[in-house]
């Protein structure tokens, strides 16, 4: 079984999404519309890949890029190939004259979700836009990307920062997490001393503890923010977990995730995760003094 990593971008303008039509390739993909993007090269970060693909396919540079979701499916032509698609929200200059398609595509359109037919788009685009979930022709979910922010779901949306640390790696370790509401006001915080373990074990334990705390306060949509890019990519399915010691806690996290409507994992720089980091160090300091 082969696996292919792909990056695609959701680019919006006036309530419409940009789609490009394939001019190359084999059936059943030829002639179908898809989100801009393409293959992530070996050793290339997905965000770097989507910026490169937008320049190559559209002739424009991305102004902003933000991780949105991870979806996967099996190849339409080759059943032995599994596609993992990293979906980004991106913005570009919307000057029509600036868009210059490559030879891979022969047409582009800005379309409302309610006007998109499943038969005219690729499977990865259907999954990325969640067209199967939303249904067709209703017009109710054209602003689906912001649907988490409406009044019916905002009270259930939480932002979670988590961190884990090990002094010595392996060595004395602790976790820390912070749970915020949709307005990023503090709801809960916590952490615990783990004894002697590794940094990665502590990071994973922190995620599990934070998920349990988020469930207790009624969270349904969880936006995780962590400063460990490795753990984020592992939880998003981009990297495999080769360390068998992490498998049990990873499986525990997968079970906890099932309690929520949606859980997403995003990487942030260390300076944006100071609260959770401070909790880790506070716990470690308390145990070292004892």
pLDDT score, position 148? 41
DSSP-derived letter for residue 182 is T
DSSP-derived letter for residue 53 is H
Distance of alpha carbon 88 from alpha carbon 24, whole angstroms: 23
Query: Angle at Cα 121 formed by Cα 41 and Cα 150, nearest 5°?
Result: 95
pTM over 0.75: no
Structure tokens at 150: 């409406």
Can you tell me whether residue 247 is helix, strand or coil? helix
Q: Domain-by-domain residue ranges, the chain?
A: 2-136, 154-289
Distance of alpha carbon 269 from alpha carbon 106, whole angstroms: 39
Q: Which residues of the chain have pLDDT under 50?
A: 134-153
Distance of alpha carbon 262 from alpha carbon 24, whole angstroms: 35
How far is C-alpha 3 from the chain's CA centre? Answer: 18
Residue with tokens 């933000």: 66
Dihedral sign of CA atoms 193, 194, 198, 204 in order: negative
CA–CA distance from 50 to each of 178, 213, 221, 237 (Å)? Answer: 31, 34, 26, 18
Q: Helices 199-216 and 247-257: crossing angle, nearest 10°? A: 20
Distance of alpha carbon 63 from alpha carbon 91, whole angstroms: 5
**Which one, of 12, 227, 191, lies nearest residue 111 by Cα?**
12
Radius of gyration of the chain (CA): 21
pLDDT score, position 143? 47
pLDDT score, position 262? 87
Q: Which CATH architecture is the domain 2-136 placed in? A: Alpha-Beta Complex (3.90)
Number of residues in the chain:
290
CA–CA distance from 180 to each of 57, 224, 276 (Å)? Answer: 39, 10, 12
**Which one, of 145, 19, 3, lies nearest residue 73 by Cα?**
3
Dihedral sign of CA atoms 109, 93, 147, 215 in order: positive
pLDDT score, position 145? 47
Q: What are phi and psi of 274, to 5 degrees?
A: -70, -30
**Same fold for the pair 2-136 and 154-289:** no
* CATH of span 154-289: 3.30.420.10
Residue with tokens 């898809």: 34
């Amino acid at each position: 079984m082969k696996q292919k990593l792909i990056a695609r971008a959701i680019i919006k303008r006036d309530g419409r999404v940009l789609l490009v039509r394939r001019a190359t390739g084999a059936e059943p993909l030829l002639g179908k519309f898809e989100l801009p993007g393409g293959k992530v090269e070996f050793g290339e970060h997905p965000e770097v890949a989507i910026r490169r693909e937008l320049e190559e396919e559209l002739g424009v540079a991305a102004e902003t890029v933000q991780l949105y979701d991870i979806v996967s499916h099996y190849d339409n032509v080759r059943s032995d190939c599994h596609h993992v698609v990293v979906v980004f929200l991106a913005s570009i200059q919307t000057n029509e004259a600036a868009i210059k398609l490559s030879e891979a595509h022969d047409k582009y359109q800005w379309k409302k979700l309610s006007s998109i037919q499943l038969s005219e788009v690729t499977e990865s685009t259907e999954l990325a836009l969640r067209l199967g979930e939303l249904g067709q022709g209703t017009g109710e979910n054209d602003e689906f990307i912001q649907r988490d922010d409406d009044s019916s779901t905002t009270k259930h949306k939480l932002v979670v920062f988590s961190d884990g640390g090990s002094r010595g790696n392996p060595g004395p370790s602790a976790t820390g997490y912070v749970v915020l509401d949709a307005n990023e006001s503090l709801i809960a915080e916590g952490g615990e001393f783990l004894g002697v373990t590794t940094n990665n074990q502590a990071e994973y334990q922190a995620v599990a503890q934070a998920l349990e705390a988020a469930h207790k306060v009624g969270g349904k949509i969880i936006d995780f923010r962590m400063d460990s890019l490795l753990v984020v990519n592992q939880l998003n399915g981009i990297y495999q977990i080769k360390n068998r010691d992490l498998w049990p806690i990873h499986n525990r996290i997968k079970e906890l995730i099932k309690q929520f409507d949606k859980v997403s994992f995003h990487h942030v720089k260390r300076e944006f995760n100071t609260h959770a980091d401070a909790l880790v160090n506070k716990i470690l300091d308390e145990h070292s003094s004892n």
